[in-house]
Amino acid sequence: PISLTETDITLVCVSNAVGGTYAGNARWLGVPLAPLLRKAGVRSGVDQVLSVATDGMTISTPVATILERKDALIAVGMNGQPLPVEHGFPARMLVPGLYGYVSATKWVTRLTLTTFARQRAYWTQRGYAAQAPIKTESRIDVPRPLASVKAGQVAVAGVAWAPSRGIAAVEVSVDNGPWHQATLAATD
């Protein structure tokens, strides 16, 4: 039997601008997707999971990425609560390390094992890449964007993410000055 599991996942929209709000972390509860696909039977030559949402939206996800990631889920909960409607209740697909347009189907109703050559999802029909790993990104949260600060030392804080690789170091430069190593917060 396949049981529910919890994992922390960073979601990022490909449209997230530097300092943007289309990135976030949550603790997700769901069914691991790789064992589910293996149980369904992944045939030779299949390279895509085409997921369909209640509104007809289609998203294409590389099968290889799902099978490599033990933390890919069909999520039913978020941050200790049932999955909120705005985040895809009753079920949502999540594949860490990929931008949302190829990995994060809200209100998912169907998964089809197919090929990229046979079926194209909404965004790939419009010229977006079918393989979309999240790039290393960061955001400065303190001071707030466009804030006025007094001359002298100013605390700078933010977040950096690279879901498939992790973050080993962060450096900060001000006004094209020298780069300074940032202090990283402890992670669990």
The Cα 136–Cα 39 span in angstroms is 33
Q: Count helices and strands (H / E) in the chain.
A: 3, 12
What local confidence, expressed as pLDDT, does residue 12 receive? 85
Q: What is the mean pLDDT of the chain?
A: 90
For the segment 107-140, what is each residue's pLDDT rounded down to a tens digit?
A: 999 999 999 999 999 999 999 988 887 778 787 8
Amino acid at 64: A
Conformation bin of residue 64: beta by default, left when phi > 0, alpha when psi is -120 to 50: alpha
Token match 């696909």: residue?
37
The length of the chain is 188
Instruction: Report CA-CA distances (Å) from 137 to 163, 164, 166.
Output: 10, 12, 11
Conformation bin of residue 134: beta by default, left when phi > 0, alpha when psi is -120 to 50: beta
Average pLDDT over every residue of 153-166: 81
What local confidence, expressed as pLDDT, does residue 185 receive? 82
Helix (H/G/I), strand (E/B), else coil: 80: coil
What local confidence, expressed as pLDDT, does residue 124 receive? 92
The residues with which 23 forms a beta bridge, in sequence order, are: 12
> Please, where are the H alpha helices in 78-166?
122-125
Given a cut of 80, whether residue 187 has pLDDT beyond it is no
Amino acid at 52: V
